[in-house]
Amino acid sequence: MPLHPVHAPEGRNTPMPISGIHRVNGHAMQPPWPDGMEEIVLGLGCFWGAERLFWQQPGVHVTAVGYAGGATPNPTYRETCTGLTGHAEVVRVVFDPTVVDRETLLRLFWEAHDPTQGDRQGNDIGPQYRSLILTTTPAQQAAAERSREAYQRALSRAGKGTITTGIEPLTTFYYAEEAHQQYLAKHPGGYCGLRGTGVGCPIG
């Protein structure tokens, strides 16, 4: 269930204004999507590097960064970074399942970060950096749960810890500010906090 901190910021009714056009591939970042596309929302720490990981994947139609899993409507980056909104930094991934299957995307997700750290990724500390999978179909939910089980077995064999990743249906995705969209395309030398465990995920 979404987190509802006692002192969550009130937020706002108006979404963050964004260009709506993906800086890298020129596709629309807002629905409706082309026929046949699927959408999944993934949180794996700071969303800058995470978004680049997925826009580079063949079969991904478009990506966008934003906030999800919490209580505050249309939060700002500053509000989310307080940890009080309940939201995680996430990437919306819209993909063509005839080109890339959900298992491949889930394998990328698991291998790109350390899902055993709870409310942090490395030096990025707070619930906004927690590991999270937000699904849009029952098939995605089932696939995500199976992948978590498979990766936990792999991590356990490697002497690693217990996965803390939340898996739940998506309620609402809130776009982050324009400055954060495709950040590493705008700032190629910018910060990327992605650090995996070095353990492969046996799916996809």
pLDDT in tens, 65-107: 999 999 999 999 999 999 999 999 999 999 999 999 999 999 9
Closest CA to 3 of 137, 119, 95: 119
**CATH code of the domain occupying 38-185:** 3.30.1060.10
pLDDT higher than threshold 90 for residue 140: yes
pLDDT higher than threshold 80 for residue 115: yes
Domain extent listing, the chain: 38-185
pLDDT higher than threshold 60 for residue 4: no
Taking only the tens place, the pLDDT of each residue in 144-193 is 999 999 999 999 999 999 999 999 999 999 999 999 999 999 999 999 99
pLDDT higher than threshold 70 for residue 5: no
Q: Whole-angstrom Cα distance, residue 138 to residue 115?
A: 22
What percentage of the chain reaches a pLDDT higher than 90?
Answer: 96
One of 46, 81, 192, 201 is an active-site residue; which one? 46
Q: Whole-angstrom Cα distance, residue 118 to residue 134?
A: 16
pLDDT at residue 173, rounded to an integer: 98
Q: What is the pTM of this model?
A: 0.96
What the block records as the tokens of 94 is 């819209």
Mean pLDDT of the chain, nearest integer:
96
The Cβ of residue 194 has, within 10 Å, a number of other Cβ atoms equal to: 18
In this prediction, residue 204 has a pLDDT band, given cuts at 50, 70 and 90, of: confident
46 annotated active-site: yes
Give Cα separations from 52 to 24, 59, 62, 156 (angstroms). 10, 14, 11, 29
Whether the bond between 32 and the residue before it is cis, its omega within 30 degrees of 0, is: yes
